[in-house]
Amino acid sequence: MDGLSGVVVVTGAGGDIGRATATLLAARGARILAVDLAGDAAEATASVIRDAGGHATAMVADVTDPAQVRAYALRAAELGPITGFFNNAGVEGRVAPLGEMTVESFDAVFAVNVRGVFLGLSALLPVLESGGAVVNTASSGGLRGSPGMSAYVASKHSVVGLTKVAALESAARGIRVNAVCPSGVDGRMMDSLDAQRAAAGVRPVEAERMGRRATPQDVAGAVAYLLGPDSGFVNGTMLSVDGGKTAG
């Protein structure tokens, strides 16, 4: 299935989910602006896309810095009409009980996961083409709790709230705003969480319902759907990609 066109901005493009999604979106016709704090990671994603015959530009930006966020929005506009935005950059933060979570650790998670998402929405929504779409990366942790993950869970609940507000405010312009809510996704972030949980003696809420974790490609498929024409009347939705973990 193709059906994508124009420029799609992907933040956190050097990570597992970001790279898988940027690659899929490019294969379906989008021109990608791959944004990441790590320049080599952004360029690696762009190179994968170009090597496959797609169009991609890499850019370094700190999503917590308003000036740098405005800069990636301006760069995207230079590349062509902006039709999509995968507002994906995020961090897992520290695993610790509430009473042991430091203010510094809490603030560091919120800076990326909430401030970064807010700044991205603020910069991209005004320049997004009518009929365009935004997908924020929330989490199953944005729909329920998880022991030892107070900062992360609170930040992803905030992303859910921002998604709903942005969806309501943008609907009249024909712009849709949704979120994906993955559970544990195989890759670097889950490797870090597994190690932290083991060290802290914190167990996940429950086992995976379908006997495996999500893959970056599982999430990429959901994002591509939400950014594409087949979801043209889907707005303000939190799409769970969790194998049924939050079903009950």
Active site residues: 152
- Give the C-alpha separation, 226 to 123, whole Å: 20
199 contacts 238 by C-beta, under 8 angstroms? no
Amino acid at the residue 118: F
- Give the C-alpha separation, 97 to 147, whole Å: 7
Q: State the pairing for strand pair 133-137/176-182.
A: parallel
173 vs 7, 197, 243, CA distance in Å? 18, 44, 33
> What is residue 205's three-state secondary structure?
coil
Backbone angles phi, psi at 82, to 5 degrees: -90, 115
Going by the DSSP 8-state scheme, the letter that residue 212 receives in this structure is S
As a residue count, the chain comes to 248
- Give the C-alpha separation, 85 to 205, whole Å: 31
Nearest-5° Cα angle at 74, 72 to 77:
110
